[in-house]
Structure 1
Amino acid sequence: MSRDVYAQRQARRADPLETVWFDALPEAAVPMFEAALLRVCPSVAIFRDEATDTWRVEGVRARGAGDEELAGALALAALVTGVTVELQAEPVEAEGWLARTVASFGEQEIGAGYLVRPTHVPDRRMYGRMVLKLDAGIAFGSGEHGSTRGCLVAFDRVARDARARRLRRLLDLGTGSGILAMAAAKRLRRPVLATDIEPWSVRVAQDNAKMNGVGKLVRSRLADGWKDRHVRAGRPYDLVFANILARPLCSMAKDLSIGLAPGGTAILAGLLGTQVRMVLAAHRRRGMVLERRLPQGAWATLVLRRK
Structure 2
Amino acid sequence: MELKELIIYATHESFPAIENILSEIGALGVSKEVFQKDKQLIIKGYFEDDKLGKEKIKVIKDKIFSLSNYGLNVDPIDMRVKALKQEDWANKWKEDIKAIKVSDRIVIKPTWEEYHADDGDIIIEIDPGMAFGTGDHGTTSGCLEMLEKYLKPKFNVLDIGTGTGILAIAAAKLGSNSLFALDIDPVAIEVAKENAKLNGVNTEIEFSEGDLLDVVEGRYELILANILPHVIMRLIPDLVKVSKDKSTIILSGIIEEKVEKIKEELIRYNFDIQDIVKKDQWITIVVTRRG
Q: TM-score, normalised by structure 2?
A: 0.86
Distance 1:253 1:218 in 2: 24
Give the alignment's Cα RMSD to 1 decimal.
2.6
Within 5 Å, give how 1:116-265 maps onto structure 2.
116-122=108-114, 126-159=118-151, 164-165=152-153, 168-224=155-211, 226-228=212-214, 230-231=215-216, 233=217, 235-265=218-248
Closer, same or farther in 2 for the Cα pair 1:200/1:36, shift >3 Å?
A: closer
Query: Amino acid of the residue matched to residue 185 of structure 1?
Result: A
3-state SS of 1:176 partner? coil
Distance 1:157 1:56 in 2: 32
Deviates more, 1:271-280 or 1:52-61: 52-61
Query: Amino acid of the residue matched to residue 36 of structure 1?
Result: I
**Residues 14-60 of structure 1, C-alpha deviation per residue, up to 9 Å, x if partnerless?**
3x3222233254x5655544443342334334455565454443322
Q: Does 1:111 align with 2:96?
A: no
Sequence identity of aligned pairs in percent? 25
Gaps of 5+ in 2: none
Distance 2:64 2:98 in 1: 31
3-state SS of 1:213 partner? coil
Query: Amino acid of the residue matched to residue 112 of structure 2?
Result: H
Closer, same or farther in 2 for the Cα pair 1:290/1:38, shift >3 Å?
A: farther
Query: Is this contact kept in 1: 2:164–2:192, CA < 8 A?
Result: yes
How far is the alpha carbon of 1:101 from its aligned partner? 1.4
Query: Amino acid of the residue matched to residue 76 of structure 1?
Result: S
Distance 1:29 1:109 in 2: 24
The answer for the alignment partner of 2:275 in structure 1 is 292
Closer, same or farther in 2 for the Cα pair 1:123/1:58, shift >3 Å?
A: closer
Distance 1:205 1:30 in 2: 20
Query: Amino acid of the residue matched to residue 67 of structure 2?
Result: A
Query: Is this contact kept in 2: 1:44–1:60, CA < 8 A?
Result: yes
Query: Is this contact kept in 2: 1:119–1:135, CA < 8 A?
Result: yes
**Residues 207-257 of structure 1, C-alpha deviation per residue, up to 9 Å, x if partnerless?**
111121111111111112x142x31x1x21111111111111111111112
Q: Does 1:23 align with 2:28?
A: no
Q: Does 1:39 align with 2:57?
A: no
Distance 2:97 2:3 in 1: 19
Query: Is this contact kept in 2: 1:39–1:70, CA < 8 A?
Result: no
Closer, same or farther in 2 for the Cα pair 1:294/1:214, shift >3 Å?
A: same
Distance 2:16 2:110 in 1: 25
Deviates more, 1:89-98 or 1:178-187: 89-98
How far is the alpha carbon of 1:186 from its aligned partner? 1.6
Distance 2:74 2:150 in 1: 38
Closer, same or farther in 2 for the Cα pair 1:53/1:121, shift >3 Å?
A: closer
Query: Is this contact kept in 1: 2:28–2:47, CA < 8 A?
Result: yes
Closer, same or farther in 2 for the Cα pair 1:216/1:184, shift >3 Å?
A: same
Query: Is this contact kept in 1: 2:135–2:141, CA < 8 A?
Result: yes
Query: Amino acid of the residue matched to residue 300 of structure 1?
Result: I
Query: Amino acid of the residue matched to residue 102 of structure 2?
Result: I
Choose from 62, 65, 77 the match for 2:67.
77
Q: TM-score, normalised by structure 1?
A: 0.82
Distance 1:189 1:138 in 2: 27
Distance 1:174 1:193 in 2: 11
Distance 1:173 1:23 in 2: 29
Distance 1:133 1:52 in 2: 33
3-state SS of 2:174 partner? helix
**Residues 184-214 of structure 1, C-alpha deviation per residue, up to 9 Å, x if partnerless?**
1121242211111111111111111112111
Distance 1:157 1:101 in 2: 32
Closer, same or farther in 2 for the Cα pair 1:29/1:109, shift >3 Å?
A: closer
